[in-house]
């Protein structure tokens, strides 16, 4: 009995000692850290940046008095619609039947300038018409090649953007031509009134284009000088967007690039396209008091007019410029990345342990980054790692999605 009890006691105490040793070893190890993890995945990636902007009319036409006289009360109010060639004001000419030398010289100069402006506008229309025709032809050619699989979808999108840009420029050029023609008519009318004053003839002043009355500087019947503003008219259907962009971002943009209009006050997202990047920059002080170099980028809406008909002149919008779109790239959340010397790294979870892994990063989006090297699909990485996590730390994974 005594002989058999001794081995059992030894076995009992040995097991207890081993258990205590295991517990002591566990206590001496680093504690397990809970961490949010996500798998490395493949999918679409879009690189973009966001800026505030405002709408503006492409053309503002200031209707002026073609000669000195007394303007009758203008009944139009800001917001009223006018048609092209509609009479918007009437002037009773005053003074001598002959223009004084200074006024006559001014009228002749305005006629000459108006004729030159009209010729330039017509040449511009011809040039842009050719540009649009070339863009249309290139688009048709690429569409045929696309059917044969010889061009990429992005090349086709770029060609469509060029057609849209050329079309917008043509619309603007034609509007400029109409305005130049009307200005010439007004200048010629001023000369035609010479010798008519004092005979009770009223000079009608007409609108150069259809649109809305924006401003009415003259409230009531009053004497006006030659060239004095009477009304400001613009077409709300001819809206564009002006965005002041950091110069470091502007160099990554080009005419024809796509954009989205967000938080504009209406429902949904509107589509737009970059039409012009002004070559000159300027210094602007930010809300934080930091001097920034910016330049103006102009965009046209490509969404149907009825979608944004409620927008007016100088309305606030937010514009998301799309720099790059990829359909299938290896990517990780941006919150999983941290600096490692001159490069980037992530913590990969391998067998319940965090392993620091250098990675090479490509394009970066708002919430994700393209992985060029260092990771494979379906590996698991830690998001938002804090200073408690190091290489070799034991991890209790919690899904971050």
Taking residues 287-301, what's their average pLDDT?
92
Q: Residues 34-62: pLDDT tens digits?
A: 888 999 999 999 889 999 999 999 888 88
Q: What is the pLDDT of residue 118?
A: 82
How many C-alpha atoms does 11 have within 13 Å on its Cβ side? 5
Which of the two residues, 169 and 188, has the higher pLDDT score? 169
Please give the model's pTM, rounded to 2 decimal places: 0.66
Question: Buried (b) or exposed (e) across 225-235, using 16+ Cβ within 10 A?
Answer: ebbeebbbbbb
Residue 129 backbone zone (phi > 0: left; psi -120 to 50: alpha; other: beta): alpha
- The residue with tokens 């009134």 is 193
**Residue 204 banded pLDDT, cuts 50, 70, 90:** confident
Residue in 361, 378, 346 with CA at minimum distance from that of residue 35: 346
Q: Could you give all domains of the chain from N- to C-terminal order, each with its CATH number? A: 31-42+328-399 (2.40.420.20), 49-56+235-327 (2.40.30.170), 66-95+201-234 (2.40.50.100), 101-198 (no CATH)
Query: Do 76 and 213 meet the contact criterion of CB atoms below 8 Å apart?
Result: yes
pLDDT at 22: 60
Closest C-alpha to 205, from 290, 306, 322, 91: 91
- pLDDT at site 200: 55
Residue 162 to residue 140: CA distance in whole angstroms: 12
Closest CA to 65 of 269, 207, 230: 230
- % of the chain surpassing 90 pLDDT: 33
Which of these, 296, 320, 313, 383, lies nearest to 348 by C-alpha position? Answer: 383
Average pLDDT over residues 85-104: 73
Task: Give the span between the Cα atoms of 176 and 336, in whole angstroms.
Answer: 53
Mean pLDDT of 74-87: 90
- pLDDT tens track for 98-118: 556 666 677 777 778 878 888
Say how far apart CA 350 and CA 333 lie, in whole Å: 18
The answer to whether residues 396 and 33 touch, using CB atoms and an 8 Å cutoff, is yes
Q: What is the pLDDT of residues 105-164, one digit of tens each?
A: 777 777 788 788 888 888 888 888 888 888 888 888 888 888 888 877 777 877 887 887
pLDDT, tens digit, 9 for 90 and up, residues 328-355: 899 999 999 999 888 999 999 988 889 9
């Amino acid at each position: 009995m005594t002989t058999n009890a001794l081995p059992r006691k030894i076995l009992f105490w040995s097991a207890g000692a081993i258990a205590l040793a295991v517990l002591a070893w566990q206590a001496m190890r680093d504690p397990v850290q809970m961490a949010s993890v996500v798998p490395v995945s493949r999918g679409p990636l879009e690189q973009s940046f966001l800026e505030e902007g405002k709408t503006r009319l492409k053309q503002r036409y200031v209707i002026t008095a073609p000669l000195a006289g007394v303007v009758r009360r203008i009944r139009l109010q800001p917001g009223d619609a006018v048609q092209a060639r509609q009479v918007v004001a009437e002037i009773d000419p005053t003074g001598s039947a002959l223009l004084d030398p200074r006024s006559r010289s001014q009228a002749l100069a305005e006629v000459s300038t108006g004729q030159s402006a009209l010729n330039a506008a017509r040449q511009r229309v011809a040039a842009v018409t050719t540009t649009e025709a070339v863009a249309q032809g290139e688009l048709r050619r690429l569409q045929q090649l696309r059917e044969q699989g010889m061009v990429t979808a992005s090349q086709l999108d770029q060609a469509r953007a060029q057609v849209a840009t050329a079309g917008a420029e043509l619309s603007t050029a034609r509007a400029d031509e109409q305005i130049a023609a009307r200005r010439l008519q007004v200048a010629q009318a001023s000369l035609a009134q010479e010798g008519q004053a004092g005979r009770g003839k009223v000079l009608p002043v007409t609108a150069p284009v259809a649109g809305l009355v924006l401003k009415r500087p003259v409230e009531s019947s009053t004497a006006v000088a030659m060239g004095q503003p009477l009304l400001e008219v613009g077409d709300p259907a001819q809206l564009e967007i002006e965005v002041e962009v950091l110069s470091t971002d502007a160099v990554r943009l080009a005419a024809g690039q796509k954009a989205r209009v967000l938080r504009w006050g209406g429902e949904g997202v509107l589509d737009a396209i970059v039409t012009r990047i002004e070559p000159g920059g300027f210094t602007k002080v930010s809300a934080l008091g930091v001097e920034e170099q910016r330049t103006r980028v102009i965009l046209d809406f490509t969404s149907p007019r009825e979608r944004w008909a409620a927008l007016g002149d100088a309305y606030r919008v937010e514009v998301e410029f799309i720099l790059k779109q990829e359909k299938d790239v290896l990517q990780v959340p941006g919150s999983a990345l941290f600096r490692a010397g001159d490069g980037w790294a992530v913590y990969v979870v391998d067998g319940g342990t965090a392993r620091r892994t250098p990675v090479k990063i490509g394009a970066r989006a708002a919430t994700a980054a393209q992985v060029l090297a260092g990771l494979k699909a379906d590996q698991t990485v830690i998001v938002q790692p804090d200073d408690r996590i190091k290489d070799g730390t034991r991890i209790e994974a919690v899904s971050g999605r």
